[in-house]
Structure 1
Amino acid sequence: MDLLSPFTDPATVAHYAASTPQKVPGFADLQRMAMLLLAERAPAAADILVLGAGGGLELKAFAEAQPRWRLVGIDPAAAMLDLARDNLGAHMAQVRLVQGLIDDAPSGPFDGAACLLTLHFLPKAERLRTLQELRRRMAPGAPLVVAHHSAPQEGDVQTWLARSIAFANRVTVDFAQASATATTMAQHLPVLPAEEDEALLAEAGFSDIVLFYAGFSFRGWVAAA
């Protein structure tokens, strides 16, 4: 399965900004928490790297809250970067958008980095390499905020994905359909148990790794480079 293909589909791109907040519990609060965790350690005029920035939702939230931040957003999907430009509007003055993967990001050093709703698309080995490349671009002690699908423990992936899918359906509650969809998702998304996600952060060289967010199958951590 080409995991990039949904983000090149015109219908998916057109509905992304409206549908994503419905899928992720406390989506706006997650963005604000990420901003606060970055701002806690970063200087007032910080350089912040956002990996998986297509759509521009977190870039806009960060730019609105921190008008002195200089933001670099990386995403492999050109259509999603076009959507980011539309969503950012005047805030594009604070943002540089780059099409590509982590290897295409500037060398930094960045005062902080965020990767929201992205790492669950990457197989374990590529996820580790991506985290290592992120850390290499960050100043010592700079904060990293990540959030993505992550099961509480081994064997729980489909159960928690089904709960997230049921949450996203604002019209009906159909657990049978949610379970069937979760089975398909679990076959294509390399979702890891939370302990493995934390171990990858540590293996990539991050320290002070702390869980700050959990909502059904989604979990978020803050760590220091």
Structure 2
Amino acid sequence: MNADTRHDEKTFLRGFDDPAAVARYTEGPPRFVPGLDALHRMTGLLLAEHAPREAAVLVLGAGGGSELKAMAEAQPGWRFVGVDPAGEMLRLAERVLGPLMERVTLVQGYIDDAPDGPFDAATCLLTLHFLDAAERTRTVGEIHRRLRPRSPFVAAHASFPQGLGERDVWLDRYAAYPIAMGAEPADVEKARAAVAGSLKSFSPEEDEAILRDAGFSDAALFYAAFTFRGWIGHA
């Protein structure tokens, strides 16, 4: 990761190392990401199409632990390596996972800090939108390198039309959903401003091209919810 990208990401992620903010974190994603529980469930089902019963699964962006918990409960034979740069978020994951932690190894850092594997499956949910195109391609390529041949990879993140006039329409929809779910409008406006100014969001077509360039030539869309998209591909 180049210095500018790492600096921008650290600036945006600073709140994820704030204990008070992290304590409230579990309330946020279900309000801002339509169908988040279903996304976690679908992710596990898609991985299970090719992953063995005793799979080793790499989870990049594992802080918070929600997708780890969903997959660990659904697949009692799977073991996981979860990677995240935010220490407080990893501590939250430990609390969320509870006794499931016996099958999880948590690593503080980025993709370069992850073990080489090989892994039987991998996920990267709500994480790649922190990275610019070059670093995103490199990161997904490093995930690809750590997978056994034909192993599945699921990625999901902010991905929506970026054309003139289109971007604001979709950001308004991003903000409308949590308000409809009961979030405070002032908090939502702050989140919208942060997303508009800091997230490295691209169009779905650009995101698919990045996945292909990183080695996932069969990447296919399986999830679309306002400003969020998800893909399944194989190494």
Q: Which residue of 1 aligns with 2:150?
A: 141
Q: Is the 8 A contact 2:59 2:80 kept in 1?
A: yes
Q: In percent, how many aligned pairs have the same letter?
A: 54
Deviation, 1:208, is 1.4
**RMSD between aligned residues:** 1.9
Q: Which runs of 5+ in 1 are unaligned?
A: none
1:171 CA displacement: 3.3
Aligned equivalents of 1:122, 1:99: Cα separation in 2: 17
Q: Which consecutive residues of structure 2, in runs of 5 or more, have no partner in the other structure? A: 1-7
The aligned counterpart of 1:191 is: 201
Find the residue that maps to 1:162 and give its secondary structure.
helix
Structure 1 window deviating more from structure 2 (144-153 vs 68-77): it is: 144-153
Change (3 A) 1:76 1:173: closer
Structure 1 residue aligned with 2:231 = 221
**Alpha-carbon distance in structure 2 between the residues aligned to 1:192 and 1:180:** 21
Matches within 5 A, 1:125-164: 125-152=134-161, 154-155=163-164, 156-164=166-174
> 1: distance between equivalents of 2:32 and 2:175?
7
The aligned residue for residue 85 of structure 1 is 94
Q: CA deviation at 1:123?
A: 1.0
Residue 177 (structure 2) pairs with residue 167 (structure 1): yes
Distance 2:73 2:190 in 1: 39
Matched, 1:39 2:39: no
Measure, in 2, the Cα distance between the counterparts of 1:196 and 1:136. Answer: 21
Residue 49 of structure 1 aligns to a residue in which SS? strand
Alignment of 1:4-43 (within 5 A): 4-43=13-52
What amino acid does structure 2 have at the position aligned with 1:107?
Answer: D
Is 40-49 or 163-172 further displaced after alignment?
Answer: 163-172
Q: AA paired with 1:147?
A: A
TM-score, L = length of structure 2: 0.90
Note if contact 2:178-2:188 (Cα within 8 Å) is conserved in structure 1. Answer: no
Deviation, 1:6, is: 1.5
TM-score, scaled to structure 1: 0.93
Q: Retained in 2: the 8 A contact 1:75–1:99?
A: yes
Question: How many residues were matched structurally?
Answer: 224
Q: CA deviation at 1:153?
A: 5.4
- Alpha-carbon separation, structure 1, partners of 2:19 and 2:62: 17
1:209 aligns with 2:219: yes
Matched residue of 2:140: which SS?
helix
Q: How big is each residue's C-alpha offset from its partner over 1:114-148, in whole Å with a ceiling of 9 and x where there is no partner?
A: 00000111111111110111101011111000100
User: Alpha carbons of 1:172 and 1:106: their partners in 2 closer, same or farther (altered >3 Å)?
Assistant: closer
8 Å Cα contact 1:151/1:217 also seen in 2? yes
Partner Cα distance (2:222, 2:56) in 1? 23
Matches of 2:32 and 2:103 in 1, distance apart? 28
Q: Distance in 2 between matches of 1:90 and 1:51?
A: 21
Once residues 130 and 145 of structure 2 are traced to their aligned partners in structure 1, the CA distance between those partners, rounded to angstroms, is 21
CA distance in structure 2 between the aligned counterparts of 1:219 and 1:173, rounded to whole angstroms = 25
